Amino acid sequence: MLGVKLAYRNIKEAGLRTWLNVAVLALTFTVMVGFQGLYSGMLAQSSRAMIDDEVAGGQYWHENYDPLDGLSLEESHGKIPEGLTEMAKQKKATPILIRQATIYPAGRMQTAQLKGIEPSQTILNIPSNSLASAEDELPVLIGKRMAKSKNFHIGDYVTIRWRDMHGTFDAVEGKIVHVMNTQVPSIDSGNLWVPLEKLQKMTVMENEATIVVISQDVSEYNSYAGWQFKNQAFLIRDLTEMIKSKRISSSIIFIILLFLGMLAIFDTQVLSIFRRRKEIGTLMALGMTRIQVISLFTIEGMFHGVLALCVALVFGMPLLFLLSAKGIAIPKVTEGYGYALSDRLFPVYSAGLVLGTAILVMIIVTIVSFLPTREIAKLKPTEALKGKIS
Amino acid sequence: MSIVKIKGLVKRYPIGGQKFTALNDIDLEFKKGEFCGLIGPSGSGKTTLLNIIGALDAPSEGNTVVLDKNIEKLSHKRAAELRNHHIGFIFQTYNLLPVYSVYENVEFPLLLLKMPKEERNKKVLDALEWVGLTDKINSKPAQLSGGQCQRVAVARAVVKRPELILADEPTANLDSENSYNILEMMVRLNKELETTFIFATHDQKVMKYLRRKVHLVDGQVAKDEIINKGAC
């Protein structure tokens, strides 16, 4: 307790020097928590959007389906297993048929994916009910990115050419009936959503699908011959990896900030020991052991960390929690980042994140505070009393 | 009763690859209640001898026993304990802790002794009363005059009632009036508490108060002079 009391008095008297160190450390702590919270929020928000709009509770993939291989798409279709058909009837699953197509926006030939989905499905959070049209023409649902890149508007017609199961080319004029505002680029860019039944007829693939999306309420997954089940974790793994890699790259900022904070404390400690040699000698003459003096100076250094945490909790945390409540407006440019971001990003600050970062900062501050104090162990009391360093 | 017994003490310092002998073959004995001075010019070894007696430094050779503790055999921790419990220091430049108030400076040795708060408070106020600074308890050293600072240093040295007080040129930075006041106070403490005082000094103002003068010349005892046999 004596060391704590003395250390507190000493750093209080150090005035501006103390507060500069505290400010740098508090900023470091706040930025670290802020960035981590931003990535946690990004991951949570993107994962939620992907799960709601694309992944749901998991997907059964036709055994030939490989989303990374466009050429294999021709062979990636099969009869929907009976068990999955039953689930679809109970609104626990929704089949999707995916076919390669060609469109001609502004007279240019471009590839696209035709995705047939049941208009009445409720498994995925996409406005498929807009496809429930009684008209003869093919209703087409697209995303905002697709609309923007191809300059499509509601009511526009798009020429779609595809090949049926036998390889025969056919074409139709599809009518854009809705432009959906989705955060998930993989169901948006290059995607034309059409009614499943119509696509099955167009491709002569009656009762066939490429994938079957399962409701999030389903917890048991049966095996079906020719179909492979892919769970949520697998389906969002790319996103998780991307966020993880961005989190790692952001740690460079933390390292720089931490380094600045460490440098400030290290410098202060070295300067303290240099300037206060006479005081160190006096403390020894009054009966303090070297370990007590080293502890005193280390505690003084650690107090910077404690004060920084207090300052960060008082000033930084309310700011961060305000940001987490109000969200941060995301510029449009991030649409090209390749993962789902909504217009506002809501950072997530868990107790673990705040506590973990606080512990990390305190450990580093303690080490940096202690290292220069080893000089005291070499100090002879008589030399110290004269103000010399041995 | 002997407080300090020194036999064949030698202290050498390495200076520029050579060994400089600061103290050479010192034999001395100080008894309880003495009011003595180590007298000599600069470089005669006064402060070195005082530092060794105060367990702040170790001898190169010989035997130094302070309060039954063999100085050369003491670990850093034991030496600190000896200083903490039994020895008070008074320095030429006061060496007060600048961030603490007068009260806290005087209280500091008692905090190290882990003394209960009430007892501590009483002893601090008693010590400050001794030196006549009860009206300055909340002042910081920077707000005090040199004389007042040295009185705080005296209070800090005596507050734990040590058997031995070592004073290194305690009046060197003080004017005649302050020197007189400080020395009168020390004499009073010596008489009333039977505290042993050993000074390192070449100040004439101090010398006339001493009851024993140990003259050091070039690190050796040139003369051991008892002024008042009855008192020493």
Tens digit of pLDDT for each residue in B122-177? 999 999 998 889 999 999 999 999 889 999 999 999 999 999 999 998 888 888 88
Distance CA A131, CA A161 (A): 19
Q: Kindly report the length of chain A.
A: 390
What integer best gives the mean pLDDT of chain B?
90
Both tokens of A292, joined, read 């007590």
One domain, residues A110 and A222: yes
> Angle CA(A165)–CA(A169)–CA(A174) in degrees, nearest 5?
100
CB of B150 closer than 8 Å to CB of B170: yes
A285, A380, A385 member nearest B83 (Cβ): A285
B56, B77, B84 member nearest A381 (Cβ): B56
A362-384 pLDDT per residue, tens? 998 888 888 888 888 778 888 88
Which of A67-71, A292-296, B89-93, B193-197 comes out lowest in average pLDDT? Answer: A67-71
pLDDT bucket at B229, cuts 50 / 70 / 90: very low
CB of A188 closer than 8 Å to CB of A341: no
Residue B112 and residue A287: Cβ atoms within 8 Å? yes
CB of A150 closer than 8 Å to CB of A103: yes
CB of A287 closer than 8 Å to CB of B109: yes
One domain, residues A107 and A137: yes
Mutation target for B interface from A282, A288, A291, A376: give the one with most B CBs within 10 A: A282
More confident residue, A134 or A71: A71
A12, A285, A289 member nearest B89 (Cβ): A285
One domain, residues A327 and A357: yes
Calculate how close chain A gets to B76, using CA atoms only, in Å: 7
Residues of chain B found within 8 Å of residue A288, distances taken between Cβ atoms = 80, 84, 112
Share above pLDDT 90 across residues of chain A, in percent, rounded to a whole number: 37
More confident residue, A300 or A135: A300
Residues of chain A found within 8 Å of residue B52, distances taken between Cβ atoms = none
Last residue of a domain, one of A212, A230, A248: A230
pLDDT bucket at B228, cuts 50 / 70 / 90: low
Distance CA A58, CA A3 (A): 58
A23-45 pLDDT per residue, tens? 888 888 888 888 888 888 888 88
Q: Give the 3-state secondary structure of chain A.
A: CHHHHHHHHHHHHCCHHHHHHHHHHHHHHHHHHHHHHHHHHHHHHHHHHHHHHHHCCEEEEECCCCCCCHHHHHHCCEECCHHHHHHHHCCCEEEEEEEEEEECHHHCCEEEEEEEECCCCCCCCCCHHHHCCCCCCEEEEEEHHHHHHHCCCCCCEEEEEEECCCCCEEEEEEEEEEEECCCCHHHCCCEEEEEHHHHHHHCCCCCEECEEEECCCCCCCCCECCEEEECHHHHCHHHHHHHHHHHHHHHHHHHHHHHHHHHHHHHHHHHHHHHCHHHHHHHHHCCCCHHHHHHHHHHHHHHHHHHHHHHHHHHHHHHHHHHHHHCEECCHHHHHHCCCCCCEECCCCCHHHHHHHHHHHHHHHHHHHHHHHHHHHCCCHHHHHCCCCC
pLDDT value of position B50? 94
Last residue of a domain, one of A209, A230, A251: A230
Look up residue A353 and give its amino acid. Answer: L
Residue B99 and residue A12: Cβ atoms within 8 Å? yes
One domain, residues A259 and A347: yes
Element housing B120 (H / E) = helix B117-130
pLDDT bucket at B231, cuts 50 / 70 / 90: very low
Distance CA A74, CA A61 (A): 14
What integer best gives the mean pLDDT of chain A?
86
- Look at the alpha carbons of A178, A184, A185, A191 in this order and tell me if their dihedral is positive or negative: negative
Residue A282 and residue B95: Cβ atoms within 8 Å? yes
pLDDT value of position A382? 86
Calculate how close chain A gets to B51, using CA atoms only, in Å: 7
What interface predicted TM-score (ipTM) does this complex get? 0.90
Measured CA to CA in angstroms, residue B30 lies from A70, A108, B27 at distances of 101, 110, 10
Whether residue A246 is contained in a domain is answered as yes
One domain, residues A148 and A220: yes
One domain, residues A213 and A71: yes
Calculate how close chain B gets to A259, using CA atoms only, in Å: 30
The pLDDT of residue A187 is above 80: yes
CB contacts < 8 Å between A and B, how many? 63
pLDDT value of position A383? 83
pLDDT bucket at B199, cuts 50 / 70 / 90: very high
The residues of B whose Cβ lies within 8 A of any Cβ of A are 51, 54, 56-57, 76-77, 80-81, 83-85, 89, 91, 93, 95, 97-100, 104, 108-109, 111-113, 156
Both tokens of B175, joined, read 């004017």
**Burial letters for A216-229: b for 16+ Cβ neighbours within 10 Å, e otherwise?**
eeeeeeeebeebee
Helix axes A277-285, A237-275, angle to 10 degrees: 70
Residue with the two structure tokens 């050579």: B18
The pLDDT of residue B230 is above 60: no
Residue ranges of E strands in B156-232: 164-168, 196-201, 212-217, 220-226
Whether residue A94 is contained in a domain is answered as yes
Calculate how close chain A gets to B232, using CA atoms only, in Å: 27
Share above pLDDT 70 across residues of chain B, in percent, rounded to a whole number: 98
One domain, residues A113 and A200: yes
3-state secondary structure of B116: coil
HSE at residue A232, side-chain half, CA atoms within 13 A, is 15
The pLDDT of residue A175 is above 90: yes
Both tokens of A345, joined, read 């990003």
One domain, residues A336 and A243: yes
At residue A230, what are phi and psi to the nearest 5 degrees?
-115, 120
One domain, residues A362 and A337: yes
Whether residue A45 is contained in a domain is answered as yes
Residue A78 backbone zone (phi > 0: left; psi -120 to 50: alpha; other: beta): beta
Last residue of a domain, one of A210, A230, A250: A230
The pLDDT of residue B63 is above 90: yes
A304-349 pLDDT per residue, tens? 889 889 999 898 888 988 988 888 887 765 555 555 566 788 888 8
One domain, residues A19 and A111: no
Closest CA to A237 of A46, A70, A62: A46
Whether residue A390 is contained in a domain is answered as no
Calculate how close chain B gets to A357, using CA atoms only, in Å: 33
pLDDT value of position A332? 64
The residue of chain B with its CA nearest to that of A284 is B80
Element housing B135 (H / E) = none
pLDDT value of position B232? 40
pLDDT value of position A381? 85
Residues of chain B found within 8 Å of residue A296, distances taken between Cβ atoms = none
Both tokens of A14, joined, read 């150090």
B99-119 pLDDT per residue, tens? 889 999 999 999 999 999 999
pLDDT value of position A45? 84
For residue A66, give its domain range.
58-230
B14-44 pLDDT per residue, tens? 887 888 899 999 999 999 999 999 999 988 9
Residues of chain B found within 8 Å of residue A283, distances taken between Cβ atoms = 97
Residue B95 and residue A284: Cβ atoms within 8 Å? no
One domain, residues A47 and A70: no
Residue A289 and residue B77: Cβ atoms within 8 Å? yes
Total tally of structural domains belonging to chain A: 2
Residue B56 and residue A278: Cβ atoms within 8 Å? no
Residue with the two structure tokens 């003096």: A293
pLDDT value of position A182? 86
One domain, residues A79 and A226: yes
pLDDT value of position A118? 94
The residues of A whose Cβ lies within 8 A of any Cβ of B are 2, 9-10, 12-13, 278-279, 281-292, 380-382, 385
Residue A286 and residue B56: Cβ atoms within 8 Å? no
pLDDT value of position A123? 92
